[in-house]
Structure 1
Amino acid sequence: MSGTRAERAPDDLFLRIVAGEVPAEIVHADDLVVAFRDVNPQAPLHVLVIPRERYETVADLAAAAPATLARLVAVAQQIADAESGGEFRLVFNSGAGVGQSVFHVHGHVLGGRDFTWPPG
């Protein structure tokens, strides 16, 4: 499905969250993106920001809907401003080999503690 948008994929957990079928702690919602707390946080601030429409990877989203990707990044900044003094790490995993487990692009907004480099 890479490179294409699926209007509805019944096994897509994130589309089910967007539809209100699966509970989530929503911290932001607008016409393009939804942000919610990660159920297994890796930092004091760990929020996922997703597009309402399904794209598998961040590259797919950038190619098909750059305005939505820009909105996703802007929302990440707004959340970090409100919850971690404006500092944050924004992580996209693209592919199972690097940790993507839900194939609906999502940015991990991480903050609220010091991070090391390199990650992982």
Structure 2
Amino acid sequence: MGKAIEINDSNFDQIIAGDQPVMIDFWADWCGPCKIIAPAVEELAADFEGKAIVGKLDVQNNSQIPHRFGIRNIPTLLIFKNGQVIDKQVGVAPKAILAQKLNAAMEESVK
């Protein structure tokens, strides 16, 4: 069963470089809303296994990447395609909305 992968400052660029869509949850242990969205992120990792990469980046332990993308509020979820941000969700959102964004990112690759 798929599980959200741990993403950090050192493996980030390698992970987003592929042609699969990548959804990254920027979170912190002390963030209440991050804990609310965490189960949906894990479920999406399982639902999209083999089709998209779902990962989590702890902003407490990794400051370079959040700074590079101007992450000021968490949770923030960024969706990458070919190394570029193509979609974004700031704050808690239902799993269905996040799945919709990932599906749209996958369709974009077909074009």
Does the TM-score normalized on the shorter chain lie above 0.5?
no
Q: Between Structure 1 and Structure 2, whose CA radius of gyration is higher?
A: 1
Larger % of strand: which?
A: 2
Larger % of helix: which?
A: 2
Query: Could you say which TM-score interval applies, normalised by the shorter chain?
Result: 0.3 to 0.5
